[in-house]
Amino acid sequence: MTSDPAALLAAVERLRSATGAIGLPLELDDAEASRALQRELREQLDDYVLPRLRSLDAPLLAVVGGSTGAGKSTLVNSVVGEQVTRAGVIRPTTRSSVLVHHESDAAWFTGSRILPDLARVTGAADRVEDPASVRLVASAALPAGLALLDAPDIDSVVRENRRLSKELLAAADLWLFVTTAARYADAVPWDLLREASERGTAVAVVLNRVPPEAMGQVRVHLASMLREQGLGQSPIFTIGEDDLVDGRVPERSSARLRGWLQSLAGDARARSVVIRRTLTGTLASLDRRAATLAAAGAGQLAAGDVLSVAAATAYRDAARGVDQGVQDGSLLRGEVLARWHELVGTGEFLRSVEAGIGRVRDRLGAFLTGRDFAPEPLGEALQTGAAALITSHGQVAAGTAARAWRTSSGGPGLLAAHPGLGKASPDLSEQVERLIRDWQGELLELVREEAGSRRATARYLAFGVNGLGVLLMIVVFSATALIPTGAEVAVGAGSAVLAQRLLEAVFGDQAVRAMAVKARQALMRRVEQLYEAERFRFDRALASAPMSPGAVAELQAAAAGVEAAR
């Protein structure tokens, strides 16, 4: 291990902070496994690596774990030589874990040096105990320098028991794995043994309740399995199928295991070898596990980016749709066209429009002087049409974004948590109406500014600011050349041309073109701001699932720092 323990400790502390900062909020395919990895890595750093680096001379902690009914508690009582933990009769046994230590070592375990998330309790076992606690038992029968922790079953049907068992095993300097002749080949314990091997954890195996006639065969087979998993150096202790004496294994059967543990406790060098072997192996595994966690964090970020882009694309397309609808003349049909007919007349007048713009110019003077220009109904129709266009595209954008999220990783979970995203904001129609009114106010101000000294002219007075504003709206809503595909379209095109000529009679052609551009840009700016606010609902949903690109980079750097320091 490193010659600079302080630098290594600082590097691991940085890694611990970076591990907790990784966000895994989206429900991706690997999210559950990634969260489990994050929790296990965080717990092992808190429960074992950091405490051990800070206190290399602390007692060796041997965690006794194994399958249901393997006899773990009985074995602990047998090794200690007195009743220190209660064996479970009913399966699954739900109770607090029991940590047995020598009286002189109490200070190492009463605080939060290890297993900080578990409450400490003392005294005799109650009938029902809290699995979120660890019961401390001081015993003079156990040598100083060694502590035994009786853990829950690793294959318990109670999920919390299984999770706690893995947490405790990750906190061990030494895993004392207890199994039986009937169950030593079960899959669950071997998955954990494989993890222990990968992390470099020191392991000793107790083969319990072995029939005398099968002792040799079972032991050889178990040794072969351990070698295959890289645990060939792990000692194996066999205990025959003997009757219990006062609830404990006969002394002759447990003597070898008890003697080995006592020698570890009494030999500071041997104890240090086991501690450093496990610590070194665990430190060596951190880089790989942190890399896996960082990859999971990067996957979350990538999924979040896909969701963000999907929402942004939907509303960007909506804005483009409005822009196209504003310029293609579609708003100059239906009710708008009918109101325009009411305003300028039909029959001979509009036929002259269709025949050619020259005839419009011939009649322009007579029109201005012989007709009162009352644009209010037309303005309302234009306002209604524009509002319907903007509202419709906003509603479509919400549905489009939601559909994209339903088919994207992580999206369904966010939609379930924010059910309103599939539709536009409830007050979208009111927002759009306010937007149109505000835009009309801006448009009228544009007319006033452009009029300048012309406000006293007969042509300006004939239309008034409101009338000129309505004419400018018509020009804005027909800014591109129309391709006549039917009578209504042709009449709409002629109407737009007439409106433009009427405006030009007051302001001139260059000014009208500039005003139309400014007015359309002002409208689209407001539409884009509205859609940005609508899209922000999706951003808020993503923000409720916090992820940080910097956290992934920090975790990678912190893991590299540990690798360099060790």
* Strand-pair category, 97-101 with 119-122: unpaired
Can you tell me whether residue 333 is helix, strand or coil?
Answer: coil
Q: What is the structure's pLDDT at 346? A: 45
Q: What is the structure's pLDDT at 314? A: 98
More reliable by pLDDT, 471 or 12: 12
* Strand-pair category, 202-210 with 236-240: parallel
Q: What is the structure's pLDDT at 343? A: 57
For residue 280, name the pLDDT band (cuts at 50, 70, 90): very high
Nearest to 264 by CA among 204, 207, 198, 208: 204
Q: What is the structure's pLDDT at 66? A: 86
Q: Report the half-sphere exposure of 206 (CA within 13 A, side-chain side).
A: 34
More reliable by pLDDT, 92 or 559: 559
Average pLDDT, stretch 281-296? 94
For residue 70, name the pLDDT band (cuts at 50, 70, 90): confident
pLDDT of 360 over the 60 cut: no
Distance from the Cα of residue 291 to its chain's centroid: 18
Q: What is the structure's pLDDT at 460? A: 64
Q: What is the structure's pLDDT at 333? A: 63
Average pLDDT, stretch 116-135? 76
Give the separation between CA 200 and CA 361, rounded to whole angstroms. 94
Nearest to 281 by CA among 173, 146, 163, 204: 173
Q: Which helix (DSSP H) or strand (DSSP E) does residue 528 occupy? A: helix 509-543
Average pLDDT, stretch 333-362? 50
CA-based max dimension of the chain: 125
CA-CA-CA-CA torsion sign (310, 311, 314, 317): negative
Can you tell me whether residue 208 is helix, strand or coil?
Answer: strand
pLDDT of 354 over the 60 cut: no
Average pLDDT, stretch 209-238? 89
Q: Is the Cβ–Cβ distance between 145 and 265 less than 8 Å?
A: yes
Q: What is the structure's pLDDT at 469? A: 82
Average pLDDT, stretch 355-362? 42
Residues near 537 by Cβ (< 8 Å), separated by ≥ 6? 418, 420, 421, 425
pLDDT of 345 over the 80 cut: no
When mean pLDDT is compared across 103-117, 245-259, 450-464, 507-521, the lowest value belongs to 450-464
pLDDT over 90, % of the chain: 45
pLDDT tens for residues 540-558?
999 998 888 899 999 999 9
Average pLDDT, stretch 4-30? 94
Give the separation between CA 31 and CA 214, rounded to whole angstroms. 45
Q: What is the structure's pLDDT at 453? A: 60
Residues near 294 by Cβ (< 8 Å), separated by ≥ 6? 22, 552, 555, 556, 559
Report the range out of 92-96, 291-295, 359-363 with the highest average pLDDT.
Answer: 291-295
Average pLDDT, stretch 130-138? 86
pLDDT of 78 over the 60 cut: yes
Phi, psi of 84 (to 5 degrees): -115, -20
Q: What is the structure's pLDDT at 368? A: 43
When mean pLDDT is compared across 271-275, 325-329, 330-334, 480-484, the lowest value belongs to 480-484
> DSSP states of 50-103 as a string?
HHHHH-TTSPEEEEEEESTTS-HHHHHHHHHTS--SPPPSSSS----EEEEE-G
> DSSP states of 247-309 as a string?
TB--HHHHHHHHHHHHHHHH-HHHHHHHHHHHHHHHHHHHHHHHHHHHHHHHHHHHHHHHHHH
pLDDT tens for residues 375-433?
567 778 788 888 999 999 999 999 999 999 999 999 999 999 999 999 999 999 999 99
Q: What ranges make up the beta strands (E) of 342-382?
A: none
pLDDT tens for residues 485-541?
443 444 445 566 777 777 787 788 888 888 889 999 999 999 999 999 999 999 999
Residue 411's identity, in one-letter code, is: G
More reliable by pLDDT, 380 or 37: 37
CB atoms within 10 A of CB 89: 6
Q: What is the mean pLDDT of the chain?
A: 83
Nearest to 531 by CA among 424, 377, 408: 424
Q: What residues pair up with 3 in beta bridges, in sequence order?
A: none
Question: Which DSSP category does 230 fall into?
Answer: T
Nearest to 240 by CA among 252, 227, 230: 252
Residue 446's identity, in one-letter code, is: L
Cis peptide before 92 (omega within 30 of 0): yes
Nearest to 182 by CA among 77, 79, 68: 68
pLDDT tens for residues 184-214?
888 888 888 888 888 888 999 998 888 888 8
Give the separation between CA 287 and CA 487, rounded to whole angstroms. 74
Q: What is the structure's pLDDT at 182? A: 85
CA-CA-CA-CA torsion sign (62, 63, 69, 73): positive
Can you tell me whether residue 404 is helix, strand or coil?
Answer: helix
More reliable by pLDDT, 511 or 298: 298
Q: What is the structure's pLDDT at 358? A: 42
